[in-house]
Amino acid sequence: MALAAQPQMPRVWRAETKPHKFCPGCGHGIILKALGEAIDALGIQERTIFGCDIGCSLLSWDFFNLDTIQTHHGRTTPVLVGIKRVRPELVVVSYMGDGGAYAIGAQHLVSSAVRNDLVTIIVVNNTQYGMTGGQMAPTTLPGQKTETTPYGRDVKLTGRPILGPELVAAVAPPGAYVARGSIANVVQLKNFIQKGLLNQIEGRGIAFIEALSACPTNWRTNAAETWRFIEKEMAAYFPTGELRTPGEAKNGQAGEGTPGAPEH
Amino acid sequence: MALAAQPQMPRVWRAETKPHKFCPGCGHGIILKALGEAIDALGIQERTIFGCDIGCSLLSWDFFNLDTIQTHHGRTTPVLVGIKRVRPELVVVSYMGDGGAYAIGAQHLVSSAVRNDLVTIIVVNNTQYGMTGGQMAPTTLPGQKTETTPYGRDVKLTGRPILGPELVAAVAPPGAYVARGSIANVVQLKNFIQKGLLNQIEGRGIAFIEALSACPTNWRTNAAETWRFIEKEMAAYFPTGELRTPGEAKNGQAGEGTPGAPEH
Amino acid sequence: MAAKPIEGEQRAFMTGNEVVAWAALAAGADIMYGYPITPQNEIMHYWTRMAPRYDRGFLQTEDEISAGFTTVGGVLAGKRAFTATAGPGNVLMQEAMSMAEMMRLPTVVVVTQRGGPSTATVIYSQQELNLTCFGGNGEGLRIVYSTSSHQDLFNYTIKAFNTAWKYRFPTFVLGDGYQSKMREPVTIYDPATRGIVMEECRPMVGLPGIAGIDREPAHLRNTYNLEDELYDRLTASIKDYQAMIPEVVEWEACAVDDDEILVIAHGVVSRAARAAVDSLREAGIKAGYFRPITLRPFPEEALQPLAARAQRILVVESAHGQLERQVRASLYGLETPVSGYLRPGMGITPEEIIGAVQQTLRS
Amino acid sequence: MAAKPIEGEQRAFMTGNEVVAWAALAAGADIMYGYPITPQNEIMHYWTRMAPRYDRGFLQTEDEISAGFTTVGGVLAGKRAFTATAGPGNVLMQEAMSMAEMMRLPTVVVVTQRGGPSTATVIYSQQELNLTCFGGNGEGLRIVYSTSSHQDLFNYTIKAFNTAWKYRFPTFVLGDGYQSKMREPVTIYDPATRGIVMEECRPMVGLPGIAGIDREPAHLRNTYNLEDELYDRLTASIKDYQAMIPEVVEWEACAVDDDEILVIAHGVVSRAARAAVDSLREAGIKAGYFRPITLRPFPEEALQPLAARAQRILVVESAHGQLERQVRASLYGLETPVSGYLRPGMGITPEEIIGAVQQTLRS
Amino acid sequence: MSVAFKAITTENGKGIFHLFPALCKGCGLCIEKCPVDTIGWAKQLGAFGTPVVEPGHGKPCIACKKCQLVCPDAAIWIERRDGKGRSDSGRQPE
Amino acid sequence: MSVAFKAITTENGKGIFHLFPALCKGCGLCIEKCPVDTIGWAKQLGAFGTPVVEPGHGKPCIACKKCQLVCPDAAIWIERRDGKGRSDSGRQPE
Amino acid sequence: MPLNIKIALAGEGGQGVQSVAEILTEAAYRAGHQALYIPNFGVEQRGGVSVAFVQVSEQPVSAPKFTTGDIVVALSYRAVERVKQYTGAATTLVYDASLEEEVREVYGDQPRKLAVPALEIAQKEMHPRVFNVIILGVLVGLTGFLKQQEVKEALERQFGHKFARDPSLRDLNYRALERGYQLGSRRGAK
Amino acid sequence: MPLNIKIALAGEGGQGVQSVAEILTEAAYRAGHQALYIPNFGVEQRGGVSVAFVQVSEQPVSAPKFTTGDIVVALSYRAVERVKQYTGAATTLVYDASLEEEVREVYGDQPRKLAVPALEIAQKEMHPRVFNVIILGVLVGLTGFLKQQEVKEALERQFGHKFARDPSLRDLNYRALERGYQLGSRRGAK
Ligand SMILES: Cc1ncc(C[n+]2csc(CCOP(=O)(O)OP(=O)(O)O)c2C)c(N)n1
Ligand SMILES: Cc1ncc(C[n+]2csc(CCOP(=O)(O)OP(=O)(O)O)c2C)c(N)n1
Ligand code: SF4
Ligand code: SF4
Ligand code: SF4
Ligand code: SF4
Ligand code: SF4
Ligand code: SF4
Ligand SMILES: [Mg+2]
Ligand SMILES: [Mg+2]
């Protein structure tokens, strides 16, 4: 070979900041590879803005050759919605953890879904709060031990794992794209993300993709246990697949034509 | 008649503070009558705590012969959850507007639903922000004129009316009670509220009741227009009925037995 | 392009909230993000009626947290974006504003103070001074203009955008519920006719060219790994802030050459203070008047000699000593006795101030 | 009833977060509500491990807003409830605490300061002084204990519950990330063995008897219709607050009889200040030391004579003048020159303070 | 009950129509819901200085109690002239 | 690309296994996913001072690229020995 | 003495005191005076006593509210009590004649009082709706700083669209204004 | 001079510097000394250089961190650079012998240095895992304020549950400690 072998990073990855800041075996890296490949495939590097949350997603603040804004915990979507409203030609990607999306930022998620904001949201479901050292998240599995459920999550007291895409699908209007993928199926995940970006580009509506991820550091798992946890334990609670694809009619929602205003 | 005729207020109403502070024709009064009758029917006056939000619901801070706490905008449920966790023998009622529930407090609603908190939540859907003078709410109908949608709600920019009970039903676990009633059917509404209180008393889980209500002041409607708006316009978007009754299996949610914890 | 919202100058009689909406239009604000709260609502009401005619945007958010962060987004995108809030909304707004403070984002927030703490009243107060100047978990690297009249509201709303974009600190126009709801005469104008040039707004993200190829990517963060990194960042900001002070600081004073008692007030209360001082002078009492217009940075250099010269200082405010604490801290080293006429959440009339001055002089 | 968490006294070597968890247990706290944030996380970690053994509750909420309001709920229900937070979480916590301030609810919040503003660092600072003392849209009717050691953390966490329930103002234990994460010796004890009687907690809602028949209902609100109603309410609270000050205010001083320079510091920095003053004295430099323990109310009466006697004052803090502003405001009227050694977000060592003192004396 | 409200009592059709002017805010919701259109505006002013309502404007009352049910202010109490009205749930006169 | 990574290149079975030690954090995810169990720990240390991986521990590589796909750090590049590997999407060596 | 008038008006929600205040100050502003009007507002949309504070002056108005009014207007039972705090010894208390009893109870020997039978006039001679325009007329007459024509123009600006639909309304309003003016100026002249 | 020792240790995440610090201070505390240990921490769970600050004294320790250490320990390439700020003229710099080159580059003629071939010893003679226990031994030897027995007890508290499962581990750890102690005390004696 004439040329020295080089890593097959997506073009939009910034090689200068690699190895990235995530832990060994962290699922974030795989998801950001899928995202990078989707951006490459669509050729939208020049107009994509990447936003990351507080949570381990913040470690991607210098990950891409993309203009990037690292925001507060749970506030990534509002910041990107703020950008999108004044710069509709841009493609905005809101990247965050399950805590940011489903706990502290749930009002933003619900509202963006209801407004059908033109934003692509990727939520990394690692069943707990990674960055703060492994506390319970809304996604924590029943019986799962975390730092704040040291004796296992008690569903009676703390509830069952939240189904994020199902939540979004329940309130988003037609035009929304909603899916759940997994790092256990990278090709599908990339496909979902790419469709989610396209949904925004074509102005159809919100795109929401949850990605089942791995946090070996806080799970305290070796590689084999990591895969087993994602593919067995998590998969049992979080089914992967597409929940909403644009155009699909939404039941219980009246048509556009219904007049709404009381006469003043 | 030996005794002078007296108003047929629910026993739990506090006559000393009547007429209440709501506007003429306001739906809040009807809903609080339904709630009062449900409390009377269950005989739980002695152990019920009433919490109201900021929003017109705050005008009920001295409405009942119940210990009452008026909280911040959107924060009624957390306050009552805080009470319930340490005083489980009490019955707590979280009473608020659609703005408080679905906009600023949506993260609390989602989280209480996911946790299956033992609280009975009543949301007054009057399609806008009543207390602040009639701005758009997440429930505002397409085309409806409000102070912040002076040319009619544009669904492209601001979305479609949120379906609150549908949202709660999508994330609440088995044991939850979810319904939507209307002041156009007071008997049914009272029945829903009573079932919602019972769900809490019997420890099954969260109870969530949305009540379609009237705001003639901000709608600027006379009585005939008021009824038409509720019974025609709103009913077209917000179907009444029970969405979840306890015991009903939840699809997409794995059973209790599934082990969840990675082995450490 | 749509026509100019205001051609030349116009006299008008309107509410303060309407004035703010006109000012933002005149300043070329691109978008308002907001969440309803009394007494700021009508800013949104007027804005939503007028903005579409001039191709300006509006987004009603789900809460003030989102209003703050979408405003941050609009600013990052290079647009003149603003929001308005009050009371508990101002409390929530601090989260986004602390991010703006860290990242030097030129956000503009109009605050119409209401009674506090908590929901308290929807009416009026000057109790959001501490919050607006020093809210958030930072050092108060902000600019806060306190307005006293509709003319101020118009002038300083326009100015706020320029100060924000020039110096890149979060900038606040601090009004109150009285100003929001009252009607009084005002002259509204196209800034250009007064020679006011609007600062250019430059995007911080979404820059031209492909990042990593044509240019470096904009990698903006508010989180540092080491204490030293943060310290360096803050030290640079503090330096910029201090360098800015002489250019930005504003105040107003009168009858301060021979005053025995200096009355200090800000915002709408300063009008009553000014009237009281005029009356007192007529009655032969040597009263002086000082009004900080910028509460942050505080005009301490201007105030010091005046305060030193006076024999007594009376701070008058619709709060329990929030301005007074600032005055005391700023004047440390002087010995002129300071007292306060403090009426949290209550309007203050000239008569009350006259009474308070007389009592102070007697004591 | 479960056994006592601590029998008698015990020496231990642990982290500050662990100390807080033990202290809350020892104080008989009934429940902790909380949301994770560094550096306070391990308070929750220890609490969730230990609390079930003693029938104490825990609820992880969806954010700090909810942590604050559920704490309010727990307190209303008559329970010794608390929460802990830091940085941006402390910003959000202000909404509930402003309600507690208005309604006189004895909430207890442990704050472990981190770098600010915004996310800044997860490590350490003293930049949450303004926020904790004066956050929210109110007048700062709060009690804030600034701790400097694990022993303080233990003592004042217990004391905070008593102060809160006795005086009914929101009460804060202001620690920092260093204290949270470091290990040092501490003596933990059952408060009873030191003669500490825990204040009784009484419910404000859920009272016995049928409201309207056996008794009046508790109708608790934070909203008033008229300015006058609010003013009366606040005036009463302010009066109570002022009456409480002499009973609650705490400070520490040494070497202040003949000092030429008085070093003022709070929290963990006061340890370095104390060490610096000891060294300076050994070196023959007449340095004195003053440490406010309550930052709100501020020990101004105690400080004034000491400050007046000193020839210079040096305020040392890991923030940009938050304590210094408080010192200046409190000492208004004195002429002793005040300067600051201000290191926002950075730890401060005795050596640095010695250097700063020497430089101040030279200048 | 320590508070007493004065009623204007009108017998009409099958019903005894008790209207409490101190409670009636004149919203008119009851008027629209009466199946026999018997309710209309009265001369007397209510809680907000606006006219209260009275029966007798349409067909005779059938004592269906819809008006009572929808009144947000509990300003109407319908008794049946056959005396069955006393079985109403709610606060009883003392 | 201004940054260049050194590769350890091993031919094994149908594949050319390029491993970039500066990127490999030794997580082992690839090891578990290799259908022929050919990947194992190497002597060389990687980015975090932990061992990197290498092929040759099991059956011969079938060039399925699963390891490359799941590596969170893009530390593996599999080329097919038949030369088709150059058609991979992604950043190409320059 | 230069013009400097402070008026507080109070009534029930539907009585239109805010319109009176708005028309009065708008007219004053157009007539070249300094003017400031502020409504009181609380959390209730309906149901509270509605108060309006009006100031007209040659100098820019200082504080939006004031301690004591030159004229205080009470138009309902609850308003009588509510405005007491703004009523001093020099204040002229204007009230609807139907409130005579309450006024006596609350104010006793208030030296300057003007009972206006506006409710009666409106109901018997005109239309309940113009009740507040009669009050407006009274204030114009009492204070004397506005020409009737200026007030008519202000009415036109406020209600022009209604007058256009039903021109008889214009006449009705003018009559109400005139009637009030007579009642007010008679006293104003004293 | 009374005991008053400040030690900064730095290494990569997996090298166990925090355990060394914790065991050392815990043992010091049990031995009746004042002790304070604080780890540095940032947003990254893995990947950053891990630094530990240890102080042992007769007096209560003042500030948790310090400007200059008496002993500074660097166990990795990046650590060498990172701890420079804590290294003064009087500081003893302890480092793994494999880092000789970097140390020379960064510190030049630092007067007090101690290269310890801990990595080599651990890998060749013992087990990579006990690398940090060797370092612990070095520090115990170098400082001399702890008896070996006290450290062994601290090891027992920290790893007792592991020793129970595999008693050979105890011996391994003791040997590592002893080996380190020799290396350290030889220098300490100088
Ligand atoms: C307002 C606020 N509260 C809390 C935190 C602390 N915090 C930082 S990251 C995080 C959780 C992150 O969990 P998740 O969103 O699931 O992301 P992950 O780290 O698991 O990828 C929390 C609670 C914060 N930074 N700001
Ligand atoms: C943090 C905060 N933001 C905004 C407000 C202002 N506010 C008071 S009530 C209200 C809306 C009420 O609407 P909704 O909840 O629908 O109740 P309604 O009045 O319609 O019954 C708002 C935005 C507030 N009090 N606090
Ligand atoms: S803590 Fe977990 S989620 Fe965070 S970087 Fe490490 S492995 Fe990934
Ligand atoms: S404003 Fe609307 S919701 Fe509020 S009290 Fe009046 S009618 Fe009811
Ligand atoms: S009871 Fe029925 S019929 Fe009689 S007045 Fe009422 S609504 Fe009409
Ligand atoms: S519904 Fe009630 S308040 Fe309304 S008009 Fe009828 S009786 Fe009166
Ligand atoms: S390409 Fe496939 S067979 Fe070859 S090493 Fe990778 S996973 Fe194993
Ligand atoms: S998956 Fe990547 S980083 Fe992990 S061991 Fe394999 S090559 Fe190394
Ligand atoms: Mg997570
Ligand atoms: Mg509403």
Residues of A with CB under 8 A from a CB of H: 21-24, 56, 58-59, 130-131, 133, 217-218
- Tell me which chain C residue has its CA closest to the CA of residue A13: C212
Domain that holds residue E25: 20-82
What average pLDDT does range H157-171 have in this prediction? 91
Distances (CA, A) of D266 to D126, D253, D257, G169: 9, 11, 20, 73
pLDDT in tens, D42-57: 999 999 999 999 999 9
E strand or H helix that includes residue D17: helix D16-26
Q: Which of A:146-165 have CB within 8 Å of B?
A: 152-153, 155, 157-160, 162-163
- Tell me: pLDDT of B231 over 60: yes
Expressed in angstroms and rounded, the spacing between residue B92 Cα and the centre of ligand 2 is: 21
G35 with C351: Cβ contact below 8 A: no
| pTM of the model as a whole | 0.97
pLDDT at B248: 55
Distances (CA, A) of F75 to B30, B120, D89: 66, 53, 38
pLDDT at G46: 83
pLDDT in tens, A144-195: 999 999 999 999 999 999 999 999 999 999 999 999 999 999 999 999 999 9
pLDDT in tens, B119-167: 999 999 999 999 999 999 999 999 999 999 999 999 999 999 999 999 9
C322: chain D residues, CB-CB within 8 Å:
139
What average pLDDT does range B200-209 have in this prediction? 98
The answer to whether residue B96 neighbours chain E at the CB level (below 8 Å) is: no
pLDDT in tens, A45-59: 999 999 999 999 999
Residue nearest (by alpha carbon) to ligand 2 atom 5: C37
User: Residue E48 — pLDDT band, cuts 50, 70, 90?
Assistant: confident
What average pLDDT does range G26-40 have in this prediction? 96
Residues of F with CB under 8 A from a CB of A: 1-7, 9, 18, 20, 22-23, 25-29, 31-33, 47-48, 50, 68-75, 77, 79, 88-94
- pLDDT, averaged across chain F: 89
- pLDDT, averaged across chain H: 92
pLDDT in tens, C52-70: 999 999 999 999 999 999 9
What average pLDDT does range G22-29 have in this prediction? 96
G41 with C123: Cβ contact below 8 A: yes
- Tell me which chain B residue has its CA closest to the CA of residue G43: B131
Domain boundaries, chain H: 4-189
Q: Using CB atoms, which chains have 3+ pairs under 8 A with D?
A: A, B, C, G, H
pLDDT at A248: 55
pLDDT at A174: 94
Other beta carbons within 10 angstroms of residue F27's beta carbon come to: 28
pLDDT at E90: 42
- Give the best residue of G6, G62, G158 to mutate against chain C (max C CB count within 10 A): G62
pLDDT in tens, C197-246: 999 999 999 999 999 999 999 999 999 999 999 999 999 999 999 999 99
Domain boundaries, chain A: 20-249
pLDDT in tens, D87-144: 999 999 999 999 999 999 999 999 999 999 999 999 999 999 999 999 999 999 999 9
- Tell me: pLDDT of G146 over 70: yes
pLDDT at H188: 58
User: Residue H43 — pLDDT band, cuts 50, 70, 90?
Assistant: confident
Is the ipTM, as predicted for this complex, more than 0.90? yes
pLDDT in tens, H89-146: 999 999 999 999 999 999 988 889 999 999 999 999 999 889 999 999 999 999 999 9
Which CATH architecture best describes the domain G4-189? 3-Layer(aba) Sandwich (3.40)
Q: How far is G2 from chain C (nearest CA, A)?
A: 14
- Tell me which chain C residue has its CA closest to the CA of residue G42: C122
- Tell me: pLDDT of F94 over 90: no
pLDDT at H131: 95
Q: Which residue has the higher pLDDT, D193 or H110?
A: D193
Residue nearest (by alpha carbon) to ligand 6 atom 4: E27
| D192 vs H54: CA distance, rounded Å | 34
What average pLDDT does range D184-190 have in this prediction? 98
User: Residue B3 — pLDDT band, cuts 50, 70, 90?
Assistant: low
| B75 vs B52: CA distance, rounded Å | 9
pLDDT in tens, G59-103: 999 999 999 999 999 999 999 999 999 999 999 999 999 999 999
pLDDT in tens, C91-117: 999 999 999 999 999 999 999 999 999
Cβ–ligand 5 distance for E38 under 6 Å, the answer: yes
Cβ–ligand 8 distance for F34 under 6 Å, the answer: no
List, in order, residues 6 or more apart from C246 with CB less than 8 Å away.
none
- Tell me which chain B residue has its CA closest to the CA of residue C53: B151
- Tell me: pLDDT of H2 over 80: no
CATH number of the structural domain spanning residue F74: 3.30.70.20
> What is the count of structural domains for chain C?
2
pLDDT in tens, D63-95: 999 999 999 999 999 999 999 999 999 999 999
pLDDT at H189: 44
pLDDT in tens, D229-252: 999 999 999 999 999 999 999 999
What average pLDDT does range B194-205 have in this prediction? 98
User: Same domain for D41 and D145?
Assistant: yes
CATH of A20-249, one of 3.90.1150.10, 3.40.50.970, 3.90.600.10, 1.10.730.10: 3.40.50.970
Distances (CA, A) of C242 to C170, C239, D126, D183, D327: 15, 5, 21, 39, 21
The answer to whether residue H57 neighbours chain F at the CB level (below 8 Å) is: no
> What is the count of structural domains for chain E?
1
> Does residue C136 contact residue D131 with C-beta atoms inside 8 Å?
yes
User: Residue H176 — pLDDT band, cuts 50, 70, 90?
Assistant: very high
The answer to whether residue C231 neighbours chain D at the CB level (below 8 Å) is: yes
The answer to whether residue A114 neighbours chain F at the CB level (below 8 Å) is: no
List, in order, residues 6 or more apart from B199 with CB less than 8 Å away.
B120, B175, B176, B177, B205, B206, B207, B246
pLDDT at A251: 44
What average pLDDT does range C299-305 have in this prediction? 98
- Tell me: pLDDT of B258 over 60: no
A150 with D58: Cβ contact below 8 A: no
| B198 vs B238: CA distance, rounded Å | 24
What average pLDDT does range B65-90 have in this prediction? 98
Tokens of G23: 């028309």
Burial class (CB in 10 A: 0-12, 13-18, 19+), B122: buried
A49: chain C residues, CB-CB within 8 Å:
205-206
pLDDT at E83: 74
**Residue D231 located in a structural domain:** no
pLDDT at F93: 40
User: Residue G45 — pLDDT band, cuts 50, 70, 90?
Assistant: confident
- Tell me: pLDDT of G30 over 80: yes
D140 with C128: Cβ contact below 8 A: no
> Does residue B102 contact residue B162 with C-beta atoms inside 8 Å?
yes
User: Residue D2 — pLDDT band, cuts 50, 70, 90?
Assistant: low
E29: chain B residues, CB-CB within 8 Å:
25, 214, 223, 226-227
G47 with B23: Cβ contact below 8 A: yes
Strand A48-52 relative to strand A91-97, pairing: parallel
- Tell me: pLDDT of C47 over 70: yes
pLDDT in tens, A76-105: 999 999 999 999 999 999 999 999 999 999
Domain that holds residue D32: 9-194
- Tell me: pLDDT of B240 over 60: yes
DSSP, residue by residue, F7-74: -EEEEETTEEEEE-TTT-----HHHHH-TT---EEEEEE-TTSSEEEES-SSSPP----HHHHH-TT-
**Residue F34 located in a structural domain:** yes
**C150 SS3 class:** helix
pLDDT at G1: 54
Residue with tokens 């037995």: B257
- pLDDT, averaged across chain C: 97
pLDDT in tens, A99-144: 999 999 999 999 999 999 999 999 999 999 999 999 999 999 999 9
pLDDT in tens, F6-23: 999 999 999 999 999 999
H44 with C225: Cβ contact below 8 A: yes
**Residue C235 located in a structural domain:** no
pLDDT at A193: 98
Ligand 4 pocket: which of B30, B32, B56, B135 to mutate (most atoms within 8 A of CB): B56
Answer with the one of C179, C194, C209 that is the final residue of a domain: C194
> Does residue B262 contact residue A221 with C-beta atoms inside 8 Å?
yes
G44 with D225: Cβ contact below 8 A: yes
> Does residue C195 contact residue D86 with C-beta atoms inside 8 Å?
no
- Tell me: pLDDT of A60 over 60: yes
pLDDT at F86: 54
**A34 SS3 class:** helix
The answer to whether residue G124 neighbours chain B at the CB level (below 8 Å) is: no
- Give the best residue of B1, B3, B8, B186 to mutate against chain E (max E CB count within 10 A): B8
- Tell me which chain C residue has its CA closest to the CA of residue H44: C225
Q: Using CB atoms, which chains have 3+ pairs under 8 A with B?
A: A, C, D, E, G
Burial class (CB in 10 A: 0-12, 13-18, 19+), A164: buried
User: Residue C2 — pLDDT band, cuts 50, 70, 90?
Assistant: low
pLDDT in tens, D241-280: 999 999 999 999 999 999 999 999 999 999 999 999 999 9
Tokens of E88: 């109403």
pLDDT at C328: 98
